[in-house]
A and B are shown apart, each in its own frame.
Chain A
């Protein structure tokens, strides 16, 4: 990957949007602005939104826009420092002690240190982008730990001392909002709420992401998905599901199913909850026909 200076890429929100589009991510104006501000102000970017609106994809696109590697830290209940910061390789240390015999050996050497995502980013802030995914799943304690990391960009290892980042790393946090995040965390970040895209943008995303889908199909899928999301479903379909639906329907159509029928038969890739399926089934034909019109 070629390294790019962050400030030369992010000259304006429009430039950011253009670069993102080049990495196959269509951002709307306000997301592009938030990304631009996060890069230029040197603050972490906090993206919140329903599942499947492309939060993680946005992080990947930002990494590729800057020509950096993405280091991903997936959060879960019970995640702790050993999984986020660093861990010692005890087996190797024990072996080394035994192997050394009478010689002196530093068992807190770099080769015994297993760097976890936060430390990895700290060591090479110019080559890596940190993605802290689904922060809402972690515990409060971990949020506090992260807060400390995000304010100073340093990690203390008792055996080694403090490691500081040479430059301000770029950090992206995502949350599904299953619980409220600490105010302090929101305050420290540039914040953006990603909603579902409007029908036109969604059609464009489908065209960009799906294999070979006709423009009319993409439009119809975008319109139908928009109607379906307005219903009180347990799991409203995300953008990825819409893309899959367009793909699946196109394949079925090539296999000989006529249009409305192809959409109906491919519904399994769009709605993946039995209850939702039975809720939407009676209306589906009408929704599809309206969208095709």
Chain B
């Protein structure tokens, strides 16, 4: 093996620099980069930049950052390294990113605060809630609504002829036709998407909700959990940790907007505007855990809910306020979104919620019909 020519150094270093800033750059990509530069001439710096973009493949949402690193590395222009700008828009945080460690440090106290709150709350009927969650976790996978998959499974009754396997049988049986082999379209559980309100008005319930979310992630196959307040945070992978306390502490550390205000409309719109996230909602059972107390204008909330319901298989809102028997969907925001809701249910107790989620597969009249009957 011969040593690399001196001129190749900067390209190799650029790959290392990117890796240090959390870009996934494989060795073969760096060698591809150098090959590309050779192929192109290179006649100018623009050629090197194009080659870097094409072979190192920075994700489109980190393109600006990539350009800044390119500038600083090849032009020595360090002022170009920019940090994420202060924003008007709803911040979105997707866990599993490279910035995880730093965040954990920042919001340690908040996580502590939360868990002490959780202890207080669950003192009452800790044991019973625990059993309930375990049961919920066990039953969830089979209780979720199902859809027919494209794939097929072998079956002995009620199915279509499996020609491929039958033919093999026929050939091996010398042209005899033994009993035909059948196959049937498989059914797979739908996705479950839970959006949890962590604003101040929901303070009493968030701890329970997170426990529920943890049980759901553990029990279900394709479950996604987001929290929203003034920001949107994806906490699914934190909740994948089996140990509940550890998982909840991790999730609590991820969320930055505990007990703040709610901007439900804008955050839900932000959720829908990220294609990767809104794809979670497609064909899924969507459960929003919130009191839907949207201050000010609810036009955005209405738009967001309509779009969500157009994507989702079933859109449900569980509000702790409905625990009160005198509750009626009377606020302007609730009245506006009631027509697009499939369910508007009581979210004040774990018992009610687990039963409700386990019943998602069974058909029920639309929320508007039920609440019309009540009032």
The chain A residues found within 8 Å of chain B, CB to CB, are 13, 29-30, 33-34, 36-38, 40-41, 43, 46, 48, 77-80, 88, 90-91, 93-94, 97-98, 107, 176-180, 183, 186-193, 232, 234, 275
Contact B151 A192 (CB under 8 A): no
- Give A176 Cβ to nearest chain B Cβ, in Å: 7
Contact B55 A178 (CB under 8 A): no
> Quick one: given A41-B35, A43-B32, A234-B307, are A30 and B53 in contact (CB under 8 Å)?
yes
Question: In whole angstroms, what is the CA distance A94 to B175 when docked?
Answer: 9
Contact B50 A29 (CB under 8 A): yes
> Quick one: given A97-B171, A97-B175, A187-B29, are A179 and B53 in contact (CB under 8 Å)?
no
Question: In whole angstroms, what is the CA distance A33 to B40 when docked?
Answer: 8
Question: In whole angstroms, what is the CA distance A178 to B53 when docked?
Answer: 21
Whether, in the assembled complex, B167 has its beta carbon less than 8 Å from a beta carbon of chain A, the answer is yes
Whether, in the assembled complex, B345 has its beta carbon less than 8 Å from a beta carbon of chain A, the answer is no
Q: Who on chain B is nearest to A82 by CB?
A: B164
Q: Who on chain A is nearest to B303 by CB?
A: A275
A residues in contact with B24, CB < 8 Å: 183, 187
| B 33-52 binary contact with A (CB < 8 Å = 1; else 0) | 00110011000001100110
B residues in contact with A179, CB < 8 Å: 275-276, 279
Contact B51 A186 (CB under 8 A): no
Contact A33 B54 (CB under 8 A): yes
- Give A36 Cβ to nearest chain B Cβ, in Å: 8
List the 4 closest A-B pairs by CB distance, nearest first: A78-B150, A191-B57, A90-B163, A33-B50
- List 27 A-B residue pairs with CB atoms under 8 Å apart, sorted by A's residue number: A29-B50, A30-B53, A34-B53, A36-B39, A37-B36, A37-B39, A37-B51, A46-B57, A48-B60, A78-B150, A80-B150, A88-B164, A90-B164, A90-B167, A97-B170, A97-B175, A107-B167, A176-B275, A177-B276, A178-B275, A179-B275, A180-B276, A186-B57, A187-B57, A192-B54, A193-B60, A193-B63
The chain B residues found within 8 Å of chain A, CB to CB, are 24, 26, 28-29, 32, 35-36, 39-40, 46-47, 50-51, 53-55, 57, 60, 63, 149-151, 163-164, 167, 170-171, 175, 273, 275-276, 278-279, 303, 307
Question: In whole angstroms, what is the CA distance A176 to B15 when docked?
Answer: 27
Q: Who on chain B is nearest to A141 by CB?
A: B151
Contact B150 A79 (CB under 8 A): yes
Contact B32 A41 (CB under 8 A): yes
B residues in contact with A186, CB < 8 Å: 57
Question: In whole angstroms, what is the CA distance A190 to B35 when docked?
Answer: 12
Question: In whole angstroms, what is the CA distance A94 to B164 when docked?
Answer: 11
Contact A178 B29 (CB under 8 A): no
Contact A37 B55 (CB under 8 A): yes
Q: Who on chain B is nearest to A108 by CB?
A: B171
Q: Who on chain A is nearest to B275 by CB?
A: A178
A residues in contact with B303, CB < 8 Å: 275
Indicate which residue in B47, B164, B171, B279 contacts A178 across the interface (CB closer than 8 Å).
B279
A residues in contact with B273, CB < 8 Å: 232
> Quick one: given A33-B54, A41-B39, A187-B26, are A93 and B60 in contact (CB under 8 Å)?
no
Question: In whole angstroms, what is the CA distance A232 to B149 when docked?
Answer: 34
B residues in contact with A88, CB < 8 Å: 164, 167
Question: In whole angstroms, what is the CA distance A186 to B51 when docked?
Answer: 15
B residues in contact with A97, CB < 8 Å: 170-171, 175
Contact A107 B171 (CB under 8 A): yes
Known: A78-B149, A93-B167, A188-B28. 14 other contacts (CB 8 A): A13-B50, A29-B46, A29-B50, A34-B53, A41-B36, A43-B32, A77-B150, A80-B150, A107-B171, A179-B275, A191-B54, A191-B55, A192-B54, A193-B60
> Quick one: given A33-B40, A178-B276, A179-B279, are A80 and B151 in contact (CB under 8 Å)?
yes
- Give B270 Cβ to nearest chain A Cβ, in Å: 11
B residues in contact with A93, CB < 8 Å: 167
Question: In whole angstroms, what is the CA distance A169 to B175 when docked?
Answer: 40
Contact B54 A94 (CB under 8 A): no
Q: Who on chain A is nearest to B39 by CB?
A: A40
- Give A70 Cβ to nearest chain B Cβ, in Å: 22
B residues in contact with A188, CB < 8 Å: 28
Indicate which residue in A48, A98, A187, A190 contacts B54 across the interface (CB closer than 8 Å).
A190
Question: In whole angstroms, what is the CA distance A40 to B37 when docked?
Answer: 12
Q: Who on chain A is nearest to B26 by CB?
A: A187
Among A77, A191, A192, A234, the one with the most B-chain Cβ atoms within 10 Å of its Cβ is: A191
Contact A30 B50 (CB under 8 A): yes
